[in-house]
C-alpha cells in the first residue's frame, strides 16, 4: 500500500486512503475520508492486511460482477436465479461458494462486503449540485420504474427494479442461456424504432426520433428506449441496460472516452464485428444498441484504434442481435461450443476482450506460435481481463496475446428458425 501511496501527489494518509480493489483501480484517484458516501466498505479476513478497507463505487460494482460471474458456475448456485445470486453473494450462503474469487492484494486473505456499514450521506453542497445538475438534464428519455400491474405509456420502457442496492456494472462477462429466434422487422420506414430492430410482440411500439446537438455534436440524442423492446421482459431493466447514472464519476469517464475517441475519428455510427449491421452512437447511456469492448485484436475493418491503458487497442462493437443470438451465432471451430454474450450489459464498454474472456476449450489456451499450452488447463486465470493481456509462452518464450484468437477460429452462422 505504501508503494501505491507514492504514486499520488499530495497524498495525505491522515485524510486519504487507497482503493483496495484487487484489479486495477478504474478511477485512478485516492479515496478521501470526507467523501465515503461514494464508496463501499470492504473487510479482509487477514487481520494483518494493510491494503485498505474502501473501494470506489465503480470499482466495487465491476469487481462484484466478476465475483458474481464466478458464483454462477459454483455448486448449488447454478440453479439460483440472478436475483437470488445477488442477494446471497455477500451472505454466508453465497460467499462460501464465491470466496475463492475474492482474493485480496495482500495475498493472505479474502475480501467481502461489509453489510453492516452504512455509507454516510453526501454533503449538502454536493446534493445541491446534483439537484441542479439533474434539472439541466430534463431532456433525457424517461424511465418509468413500475410494478407488474402498472400502466406503461407509449415510448416508455417499464424498468423493473430487480437489484435493490447495487447494480452490476460493466467490466465483466458471464455465460447463461440466450434467447433464440429472430427479432421482428421495424414497424416504420420513416423513423425506425431502432438502428436495426423493431419491437417484440407484446410491447408497445413507438417511433424513435434522432436529433443532433444544437452545439454541433455528431452524436444522436436518444428520445426513448423502445429499441430494447425486442429483448425478453426479464432483461428490460437497468440491470441489463446501462442507464445514465447520476454522480458516478467513473462511468462518465468511460462515456467521455468513447465519445471523444469517436468524435476525433468523425464516427457517428459503428458496425457490429459479427453481422456488420450498423448501430447509431448516442450521446448518453445506453450509447449503442449493443456493447463496446476494447481488445488488442482488430477483429474487422470497422474496429477503431484507440489509446487505452497506454497501449494501442481497438474499439470493437457487437450488436444486441448477435449478443442475443438473433442475427448470428459464434461457434468455436475446435469444440463447436457457442460463445454466449446475452448476459453482457448493453450500451456501455468493457475494458477487455469479451470474446476471449471465457476460454471454451483447451485449444484456446495454446500458444499462437508453438501450439503448446501457455497455462495449465487446471490453473485458469483469476480475472476475465487476464485473458486479454500479453503473456510469455513457457515453451518457446513468444510474448503475445495468446488467448485472443482471430475470428477465423470461429464459425459465424445464422440462427436456425
Q: What is the tens place of the pLDDT at every residue in 249-259? A: 445 778 888 88
User: Tell me, what's the pLDDT at 382?
Assistant: 84
User: Tell me, what's the pLDDT at 245?
Assistant: 53
User: Tell me, what's the pLDDT at 176?
Assistant: 31
Residue 232 in grid coordinates: 425478453
Contact (Cβ atoms closer than 8 angstroms) between residue 189 and residue 203: no
Indicate the pairing of strand 144-145 with strand 158-159. Answer: parallel
Residue 403 in grid coordinates: 488467448
User: Tell me, what's the pLDDT at 77?
Assistant: 87
Sign of CA dihedral 99, 101, 104, 107: positive
Burial class of residue 268, CB neighbours in 10 A (0-12, 13-18, 19+): middle
C-alpha distances out from residue 339 to 30, 294, 367, Å? 38, 17, 21
Is this model's pTM higher than 0.85 or not?
no
User: Tell me, what's the pLDDT at 10?
Assistant: 67
Sign of CA dihedral 79, 81, 82, 86: negative
Contact (Cβ atoms closer than 8 angstroms) between residue 283 and residue 220: yes
CA dihedral (328, 333, 334, 340) in degrees, to 10, reads: -10
Q: How many CA atoms lie within 13 A of 275 on its CB side?
A: 21
Q: Which residues of the chain have pLDDT under 50?
A: 1-7, 137-138, 140, 142-215, 246-250
CA distance 93 to 275: 42
User: Tell me, what's the pLDDT at 237?
Assistant: 86
User: Tell me, what's the pLDDT at 51?
Assistant: 87
User: Tell me, what's the pLDDT at 417?
Assistant: 54
User: Tell me, what's the pLDDT at 127?
Assistant: 53
User: Tell me, what's the pLDDT at 150?
Assistant: 38
Q: Which residues contact 34 (CB under 8 A, 6 or more apart)?
A: 15, 123
User: Tell me, what's the pLDDT at 172?
Assistant: 37
Amino acid at each position: 500500500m505504501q508503494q501505491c501511496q507514492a504514486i499520488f501527489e499530495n497524498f495525505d494518509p491522515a485524510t486519504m486512503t487507497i482503493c483496495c480493489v484487487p484489479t486495477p483501480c478504474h478511477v485512478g484517484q485516492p479515496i478521501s475520508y470526507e467523501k465515503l458516501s461514494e464508496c463501499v466498505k470492504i473487510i479482509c479476513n487477514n487481520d494483518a492486511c494493510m491494503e485498505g478497507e474502501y473501494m470506489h463505487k465503480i470499482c466495487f460494482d465491476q469487481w462484484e460482477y466478476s465475483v458474481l460471474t464466478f458464483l454462477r458456475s459454483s455448486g448449488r448456485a447454478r440453479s439460483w436465479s440472478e436475483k437470488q445470486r445477488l442477494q446471497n453473494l455477500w451472505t454466508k450462503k453465497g460467499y462460501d461458494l464465491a470466496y475463492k474469487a475474492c482474493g485480496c492484494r495482500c495475498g493472505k486473505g479474502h475480501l467481502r462486503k461489509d453489510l453492516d456499514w452504512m455509507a454516510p450521506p453526501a454533503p449538502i453542497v454536493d446534493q445541491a449540485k446534483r439537484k441542479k445538475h439533474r434539472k439541466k438534464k430534463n431532456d433525457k428519455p424517461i424511465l418509468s420504474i413500475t410494478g407488474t400491474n402498472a400502466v406503461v405509456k407509449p415510448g416508455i420502457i417499464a424498468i423493473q427494479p430487480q437489484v435493490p442496492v447495487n447494480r452490476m456494472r460493466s467490466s465483466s462477462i458471464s455465460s447463461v442461456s440466450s434467447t433464440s429466434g429472430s427479432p421482428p422487422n421495424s414497424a416504420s420506414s420513416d423513423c425506425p424504432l431502432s438502428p436495426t430492430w423493431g419491437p417484440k410482440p407484446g410491447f408497445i411500439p413507438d417511433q424513435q426520433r434522432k436529433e443532433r446537438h444544437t452545439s454541433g455534436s455528431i452524436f444522436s440524442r436518444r428520445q426513448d428506449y423502445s429499441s430494447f423492446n425486442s429483448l425478453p421482459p426479464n432483461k428490460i431493466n437497468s440491470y441489463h441496460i446501462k442507464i445514465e447514472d447520476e454522480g458516478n464519476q467513473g462511468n462518465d469517464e468511460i462515456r467521455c472516452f468513447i465519445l471523444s475517441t469517436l468524435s476525433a475519428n468523425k464516427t457517428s455510427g459503428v458496425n457490429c464485428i459479427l453481422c456488420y449491421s450498423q448501430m447509431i452512437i448516442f450521446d448518453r447511456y445506453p450509447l449503442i444498441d449493443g456493447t463496446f469492448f476494447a481488445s488488442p485484436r482488430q477483429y474487422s475493418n470497422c474496429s477503431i484504434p484507440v489509446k487505452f491503458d497506454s497501449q494501442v487497442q481497438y474499439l470493437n462493437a457487437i450488436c444486441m442481435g448477435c449478443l442475443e443470438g438473433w442475427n448470428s451465432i459464434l461457434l468455436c471451430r475446435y469444440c463447436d461450443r457457442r460463445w454466449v454474450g446475452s448476459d453482457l450489459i448493453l450500451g456501455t464498454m468493457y475494458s477487455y476482450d469479451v470474446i476471449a474472456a471465457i476460454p471454451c476449450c483447451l485449444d484456446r489456451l495454446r500458444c499462437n506460435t508453438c501450439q503448446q499450452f501457455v497455462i495449465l488447463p487446471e490453473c485458469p486465470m483469476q480475472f476475465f481481463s487476464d485473458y486479454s493481456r500479453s503473456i510469455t509462452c513457457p515453451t518457446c518464450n513468444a510474448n503475445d496475446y495468446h488467448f485472443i484468437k482471430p475470428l477465423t477460429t470461429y464459425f459465424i452462422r445464422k440462427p436456425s428458425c
